[in-house]
Chains A and B, each alone.
Chain A
Amino acid sequence: MRKVLVGALAALLLAGCGGSGGGAADGDLTSDKIELRFTWWGSDARHQRTQQVIDLWQKDHPNITVKGEFKEWNGYWDSLATTVAANDAPDVIQMDELYLASYAERGALLDLGTAGKNLAITDFDAKALATGAIDGKQYGLPTGVTTYSLIANTDLLAKYNVTLPDDATWTWDDLKSVGDRISKASGGEVTGLQSWGFDIGGVNIWARQNGASLYAPDGKVAIPADILAKYWQYLLDISKQGIAPPASVSVERAGAGLDQSGTATNKSAIGTWWNSQLTSLAKASGQNLKLLRIPGEGTATGAYYKPSMFWSISSRSKHPAEAAAFVNFLANSQEAADIMLTDRGIPANTKIRAALTGKLEGTDKAAAEFLDSVKVGEAPRVTPNGASDVEAILKRHTESVLFERETPQQAAEAFISELQAGIDAA
């Protein structure tokens, strides 16, 4: 009896995992009544815009019902993993760079290159497209691109009478001394810098400026421990010297999200951000914010385009052709772009971006212009399969370094071996 039960269970789980999609992604669209499930994460503003885009598409495709399923970030990934495990995944999936390879290399995502006539990718910037490709297969179509930057509060700079050096040539030491002057001038009221080390962008840039990279092309961890140690040493120094807030404040703000950051609450004059976050930050802060290039770019290029997120299609979708046509609409339709604007990043579709730039105003415009002005290198390798929790590992070691529970060197070595172990196990 028990054996039968266990056998049945195993069969059930296998049934959940097996199965394949129906039809070809480049086939003709059906005229039958079907339903597509489309899932994304975000806040209510995004939910509303996305629903408008869905409504727009439904006008032209009355037989295809698109069901939007919105979630918040954490719940999104729990829910997605569960539905994929049960072979019940939504057809169109908003995907993140961290998870792309973990899903794609395990066969959960469709190669969008097979969608042929249903999905055009010709208008996309090649560097941006490369961020969604693994082994020559296009698993994700970037919705937008963004680049790592500094955001400075010019009101605070003016208040404390601090002028910035030219951000095209400045160095990490320059940043430190600027931050120091602000901290001192304010008498402790604000800090010059806001600590970072909680997102992987900073590490990527640091590695690239030092002639290394986080991952080798084959997906192994490639950053040398001493380079990574220097990164953490820098963060530890600015924290201890009062240039950035003390460890507990930094950790607290990093965990609290954008609205409660030092930049948003005007408690830190300069912070690292993705350039596309300028508008949200400006809204929260209520003061004048300005995008700056990261230090050190004058001598070696570390900057790159990061895809804000991707459109992906489940490999087990029963309607891959229709799903591809819908993604095509999301990615290439000017009407859709006019509704979404920069909500999912500054569009990676160059035609759309060109048409959109003229319509943008204020901080959106500044962010788009900044993106164009930054000199970027090749995109770093996609986060490998098994490394989707890299930011959690990074964050933990940053905390340990800031609280001096680990030396930067220890943290670097532990980070590398943990990350590699995850990749090896996948």
Chain B
Amino acid sequence: MSAIGELQRLNTSTGGPPRKRDTKAALLFLLPWFAGILLITAGPVAASFVLGFTDYNLIQPPEFNGLENIQRMLTDERLHHSLGVTFTYVFVSVPLQLAAALGLAMLLDRGMRGLPFYRSAFYLPSLLGSSVAIAVLWRQIFGAEGLINQMLGFFGIEGTGWISDPDTALSTLIVLNVWTFGAPMVIFLAGLRQIPVMYYEAAQIDGAGRWTQFRRITVPLLSPIIFFNLVLQIIHAFQSFTQAFVVSGGTGGPSDSTMFYTLYLYQRGFHSFDMGYASALAWLLLLIIAAFTAVNFWAAKRWVFYDD
């Protein structure tokens, strides 16, 4: 193992001169971003915050109603239900999707015949987006008389309508999400490309097996990218909207079984003309996501390995 250890040590200690402030350069590089925050983001974000304390039906001017929206959240059973749905989705689908993405990225990364073909094929489901055609397609596959049930029928099993049965709808959505592992897979692939091959060569000289190479080289060196995917997939999963919208026709049904948080918020805001409450809900979601992200960043100190 000595060669690996050597290389890692080499990388962790940069040993350069002490950092000095680069305020001027930072201002230059961040200029577009600062302009974006000020001109594009700040106004609407602040407005949504203010609206969270109002009764706003979109058509008439908002009316300040103090903490009423927050009180409503406490007793809103459908909100609590949608939180449950969302948490289940986040905790089940994110690990599964990342595992699939990382596994296949590892498999596809190096020295394989037909690599570009597989990579493209695996990415295809992620290209499809959320058009009407896709809604129809899911029904053809997961419907009561759909492809899956036809195949199950072969084995004498009678399936249900996977997306129209409240007992299976959420699980089906999770499967669908795992299926679109293409995006994190591509990011993993790009990250794997950054790992210098000499590490693996050194490991092989040391007689390290595949598993050891994975644990000692791939995971630490890929950890910034794993971390990125983890943080972003969690944020995305909490905000998951499109899939449930497409599959349930925007209702979050059957029986609210796919009522994701953002779908509920959207329905309150646009279908029930309750944008004040929807804005308050959005800020609660922001707090939840921010809390998870903060925990992620805190935990990252223990396992994410940077080169600086």
Contacts and interface: CB of A to CB of B under 8 A. Distances in A.
B60 A81 contact: no
A248 B144 contact: yes
Contact of A247 (B143, B165, B256): B165
Interface in A229-250: 245-249
B58 interface: yes
Interface residues of A, number: 45
Interface string A26-46: 000000000000000000000
Contacts of B42: 5
A81 B251 contact: no
B61 A13 contact: yes
Interface in A64-81: 72, 74, 77-78, 81
A82 B254 CA distance: 28
Nearest to B45: A9
A196 to B, nearest CB: 16
Nearest to B268: A389
B267 interface: yes
Contact of A248 (B60, B160, B275): B160
A399 B256 CA distance: 9
A396 B256 contact: yes
Contact of B253 (A14, A249, A399): A399
Interface residues of B, number: 40
A260 B254 contact: no
Interface in A391-414: 392, 395-396, 399-400, 403, 405
B254 A251 contact: yes
B205 to A, nearest CB: 59
A255 B272 contact: no
Contacts of A106: 57, 59-60, 273
Interface in A1-57: 5-6, 9-10, 12-14, 17-18
Interface of B: 42-43, 46-47, 50-51, 57-62, 132, 136, 139, 143-145, 160-161, 163-167, 248-251, 253-256, 267, 270-275
12 contacts: A5-B43, A5-B46, A13-B51, A17-B61, A78-B270, A85-B59, A85-B275, A106-B60, A107-B60, A248-B164, A249-B145, A399-B253
Given A248-B144, A403-B255, 14 more contacts: A5-B42, A9-B43, A10-B50, A74-B250, A102-B59, A251-B161, A252-B143, A255-B253, A388-B272, A396-B251, A400-B255, A403-B165, A403-B167, A426-B57
